[in-house]
Amino acid sequence: MPRPCPLPALMAVVLVSGLLATATPAASASRPDLVVGAIEATTSAVEPGEKLKVAGAVLNRGRGKAAASRVSVSLSADARPGKDVRLGLLRTAAVPARSGAPLSGSVKVPGGLAAGDYHLVACADANKAVRESKEGNNCRVSGSSVRGTGVVTQLPDPALTGVFPLDPDPVAVTTRATSETVQLLVPGPGFGAGATEESVTGPDGTTYTLSVPAGATLGSPWTTLTMTVVESVSGSPLGGLVGGVQLEPHGLVLLEPATLRVDPAGAAPGGVVAFTADGDGGDLRMLPTDGSAYEVPIAHFSTVGVAEATPAQQQALAAAAPSGDTAQLESALSTAPSSDQVALAEAHHHDVVQPALDAAERATSLDAALAGVATALSWGHHVAVLGLSSAYLDAASATLVPQVVRILVRQIDRAEARCADHDLSAFRDLLRIARMLALFGEDAASERAAQAAVRCGRFEVAMTATERLDLAERDGTYSRVIDGDWTVELPPTVLAVALDNPFISASPALVPRSVSYRFTESDVCPDGPGYESDVRNDAYSAGQALVRLDIAVDLYDPAQRDPLSEAGFLEIAVQQPPIGTSTGRIESCYGPGQDVSEPELGWAEAFFELRVTDPARADDSGFLRIPLFADEAEGARMLQLTSSRTTQRPDTGEVFGESLSVTLDHRPR
């Protein structure tokens, strides 16, 4: 089950006094007035026939005590009381006047509940056991929705079971690529429609055309795909290579199948098969096609090509079962007659796909869940491309997407819980979930995941910079001591990471929270008493700074567990340095004292001096760029940087010191 979210019941009870204070006086001073103060589900998704836990509070705004009563709980598709799905009644205790009572319990969801997003509707005194001063204010609609995952269909018995997994005996090959390559920019969800198509021609004149449909990838605003021509494949039991390409990124599972068309420069040879191998050359196998081996359906990215093959060569490769689950299905379907393909597809779903989906339902990490989803989607692609149909296959195909959606929705709660523990991989996972749900047409659930990512991607940065000057001179009876410093402090500022790619967030121009300047000088004159000078800043312009967080997140790289560990930096720049007015009295051994009032620029000088002390952290834009390293993180603190230096002039003894302190904390909301 998804991890419970925080319950609003306690807060609702705590706020009872405030709520009741604004209540309209009851028509009768002695009657109670029951309302639902809060109602929410404790999970974000529920299956048909499952029990749904709810929590909230019942308030009595009237002046009379309310006897024990019942609260009805329903599911509403339009967030308004009316024609709703009634779930059941919850018992509530007697409620004193102008007080409240917590509400909690479980209600059963009907077995035939359709898939969709629902709001809870709770109505106090549903059994009309309490005579109230007002009877029209009993109901309340929840603020958040709960996902109904749809009807769970019982599949018929498959024609064949116990076939998969096969005993593996994989074949590995070595490929050599050419310099002929082309890139495709495939639009992500909401950024384009229609297929993206690009072609590349190899040294022998063979042309390769890759067509990728819209909605096949998660990238935003687009995903960069690469196709590179292969000139040789060694170690294969098949015959001569007609043509092949490497499709990258290797291992990418498409949400909609692409198509590779191979057009030889001369006459297309007969007796050919389509083949594929993993990115490292492992698991060589033949691919099933719908007719021509020169039109190859692509469910995932790897090395793909066309080779000549005699029946004996085909049988030799078919007998060498690959190790991967999807690879075994592709190999079995590629050599099976059409009359056997249905039974093999049913067996693979029963033996491999459904167990993988069941494991994905229980998975505690998104990567583990997506492993099962990838297996299921690849199975669905092959069934659709080959046009396979049976009572079992049709039912399994119909339940495939609803089950995948249910898996993804469950992962929203789990990712949010990880984000609360400052696991930043949850931020990437929520973005992946949001985009996959959008591609499946689940807009409401996608928006829930996107908003969860927004709440997760919040950081707080604070900075303090100080410039210090010390001077001590002695020459016979003459001595001088100077002591001064300039300090500026930026207030803690929240950066909310944007959802586009790269994920860059900039704060508005910040006014420093505190700015100080102090300068004192003590002189002992050769021919007389000493003097004390004191200059300070007591008037400032509003200096400004800009803070920017830049995190690059790779949605396709499961190894990137933490966005900050792979790529990211924090930038701070002086937009408008604070200018102070120096006031005070300057005394001198060599003339009369004088009052001063003049502009003084301090922070910008100190800041840019600090910036050039470490050129690796600076760029040409005037920003101080600080790399982020998540392995230094401990809890919410993602970065704590202290940089300082001290220099002394040998001729005067003047000591100049600078320091900069920057902290970055993860602040999920």
- pLDDT for 184-239, tens place per residue? 888 766 666 678 899 999 999 999 999 998 778 766 567 788 999 999 999 999 99
**Whether residues 233 and 249 fall in one domain:** yes
| Average pLDDT, integer, range 479-506 | 73
Please report, as a single letter, which amino acid is at residue 203. Answer: P
Per-chain mean pLDDT for the chain: 80
Residue 429 has pLDDT above 70, yes or no: yes
**Whether residues 284 and 384 fall in one domain:** no
84: CB partners within 8 A, 6+ apart = 74, 75, 76, 77, 121
Q: Report if residue 157 sits inside a domain.
A: no
Q: What pLDDT score was predicted for residue 227?
A: 95
Q: What is the CATH number of the domain that holds 87?
A: 2.60.40.10
**Whether residues 183 and 315 fall in one domain:** yes
Is pLDDT larger for residue 548 or for residue 460? 460
Per the CB < 8 A criterion, the answer to whether 59 and 139 are in contact is no
Q: Which of 420, 406, 326 lies closest to 369 in space, CA to CA?
A: 406
| Average pLDDT, integer, range 640-653 | 76
**Whether residues 436 and 491 fall in one domain:** no
Q: What pLDDT score was predicted for residue 293?
A: 84
Q: Which long-range contacts (CB under 8 A, 24 or more apart) does 603-608 make?
A: 603/465, 603/467, 603/486, 603/488, 603/512, 603/515, 603/543, 603/574, 603/577, 603/578, 604/574, 604/577, 605/467, 606/465, 606/466, 606/467, 606/486, 606/658, 607/465, 607/488, 607/574, 607/577, 607/660, 608/574
| Average pLDDT, integer, range 483-508 | 74
Three-state DSSP class for residue 632:
helix
**Whether residues 476 and 445 fall in one domain:** no
Q: Report if residue 334 sits inside a domain.
A: no
Listed residues 406, 437, 452: the one ending a domain:
452
| Average pLDDT, integer, range 501-517 | 70
Q: Which of 333, 358, 361, 362 lies closest to 345 in space, CA to CA?
A: 333
Is pLDDT larger for residue 316 or for residue 487? 316
Residue 290 has pLDDT above 70, yes or no: yes
Q: What's the pLDDT tens digit per position in 324-380?
A: 999 999 999 988 888 899 999 999 999 999 999 999 989 988 889 988 998 998 899
**Whether residues 133 and 240 fall in one domain:** no
**Whether residues 603 and 632 fall in one domain:** yes
**Whether residues 202 and 81 fall in one domain:** no
**Whether residues 445 and 469 fall in one domain:** no
Q: Report if residue 114 sits inside a domain.
A: yes
Is pLDDT larger for residue 640 or for residue 578? 640
Indicate the number of domains in the chain.
4
The residue range of the domain holding 227 is: 174-320
- Tell me whether residue 125 is exposed, middle or buried, using C-beta atoms within 10 angstroms of its C-beta: 0 to 12, 13 to 18, 19 or more: buried
| Average pLDDT, integer, range 154-158 | 78
- Crossing angle between the packed helical segments 354-362 and 391-420, to the nearest 10 degrees: 20
Can you tell me the distance from the alpha carbon of 563 to that of 319, in angstroms, rounded to the nearest whole number? 43
Q: What pLDDT score was predicted for residue 401?
A: 85
Q: What's the pLDDT tens digit per position in 90-124?
A: 999 999 999 999 999 998 887 667 778 889 999 99
Please say whether the dihedral angle defined by the alpha carbons of residues 397, 401, 406 and 410, taken in this order, is positive or negative: positive
Q: What pLDDT score was predicted for residue 26?
A: 41
Listed residues 434, 452, 470: the one ending a domain:
452
Q: How does strand 623-627 pair with strand 568-576?
A: antiparallel
* Structure confidence at residue 565 as a pLDDT band (50, 70, 90): low
Q: Report if residue 110 sits inside a domain.
A: yes
Report the b/e string of 240-261 with b at 16+ CB within 10 A.
Answer: ebbbbbbbbeeebbbbbbbbbe
**Whether residues 427 and 569 fall in one domain:** no
Is pLDDT larger for residue 633 or for residue 83? 83
Q: What pLDDT score was predicted for residue 422?
A: 87
Q: What pLDDT score was predicted for residue 2?
A: 38
Is pLDDT larger for residue 438 or for residue 15? 438
Q: Report if residue 293 sits inside a domain.
A: yes
Residue 531 has pLDDT above 50, yes or no: yes
Residue 178 has pLDDT above 80, yes or no: yes
Q: How does strand 139-148 pair with strand 45-46?
A: parallel
* Structure confidence at residue 9 as a pLDDT band (50, 70, 90): very low
| Average pLDDT, integer, range 609-628 | 56
Q: What is the DSSP code string of 396-455?
A: HHHHHHHHHHHHHHHHHHHHHHHHHTT-THHHHHHHHHHHHHHHTT-HHHHHHHHHHHHH
Is pLDDT larger for residue 247 or for residue 217? 247
Q: How does strand 51-60 pair with strand 222-234?
A: unpaired
| Average pLDDT, integer, range 137-157 | 79
146: CB partners within 8 A, 6+ apart = 41, 43, 44, 45, 46, 52, 75, 117, 118, 119, 120
Q: Which of these ranges, 371-385, 567-581, 603-617, 629-643, has the smallest mean pLDDT?
A: 603-617
Per the CB < 8 A criterion, the answer to whether 439 and 218 are in contact is yes
Is pLDDT larger for residue 519 or for residue 411? 411
Residue 270 has pLDDT above 80, yes or no: yes
Please report, as a single letter, which amino acid is at residue 574. Answer: V
**Whether residues 313 and 394 fall in one domain:** no
Please report, as a single letter, which amino acid is at residue 80. Answer: R
| Average pLDDT, integer, range 568-579 | 72
Can you tell me the distance from the alpha carbon of 117 to that of 41, in angstroms, rounded to the nearest whole number? 12
Q: Report if residue 60 sits inside a domain.
A: yes
Two tokens, residue 92: 């509530």
Q: What is the CATH number of the domain that holds 210?
A: 2.60.220.30
Two tokens, residue 245: 């390409």
Q: Report if residue 245 sits inside a domain.
A: yes
Q: What is the DSSP code string of 217-267?
A: ---SSEEEEEEEEEEEEES-SS--EEEEEEEESTTPEEEEEEEEEEE-SSP
pTM of the model: 0.68
Which range of 81-95, 231-245, 397-411 scores highest in mean pLDDT? It is: 231-245
Two tokens, residue 285: 């196998």
Cis peptide leading into 165, omega within 30 of 0? yes
Listed residues 131, 148, 165: the one ending a domain:
148
Q: What pLDDT score was predicted for residue 6?
A: 36
Q: Report if residue 193 sits inside a domain.
A: yes
**Whether residues 581 and 656 fall in one domain:** yes
Q: What pLDDT score was predicted for residue 184?
A: 84
Per the CB < 8 A criterion, the answer to whether 494 and 510 are in contact is no
